[in-house]
Structure 1
């Protein structure tokens, strides 16, 4: 059965290293920006994430796009 996926929501996530715990392991926190236009390209989202990374107190480990899709049988 064929299934179509329709993009419904997009989010920008940035993972930041906020320090180390008492055992020396990195503490990673996630900052999520919701309501990203679904029509935005991956390059656009990366560019915005990169610009926002320069404004953060902690170093950014990764910039991610998270998409939510609705699946429907055809």
Structure 2
């Protein structure tokens, strides 16, 4: 049987470093921006992520585009 993968939802996540723990490891928090178009090109998502990074109070550690996909059988 063929499996059909259908994108359902996409989220832009910006991981920021909010400090350093007692052991010297970074403490991070994730800022999530939901309702991203699942068809949005990665380059466009990166442009928006960089613009939003400038609005953060903490240094940005990484950007993530998370796409939830529904799998069905045909």
TM-based fold match above 0.5 = yes
The residue number in structure 2 matching 1:49 is: 49
After TM superposition, the structure 1 = structure 2 runs for residues 21-60 of structure 1, keeping only pairs within 5 Å, are 21-60=21-60
- Compute the RMSD of aligned alpha carbons: 0.8
Structure 1 residues 38-62: Cα deviation after superposition (integer angstroms, max 9, x where no partner): 2211111111001100111111111
Gaps of 5+ in 2: none
Residue 21 of structure 1, CA deviation: 1.4
Describe the SS at the equivalent of 2:44.
Answer: helix
Deviating 4+ runs (over 3 angstroms): none
Describe the SS at the equivalent of 1:50.
Answer: helix
TM (norm. structure 2) is 0.94
TM (norm. structure 1) is 0.94
Gaps of 5+ in 1: none
* Number of equivalenced pairs: 74
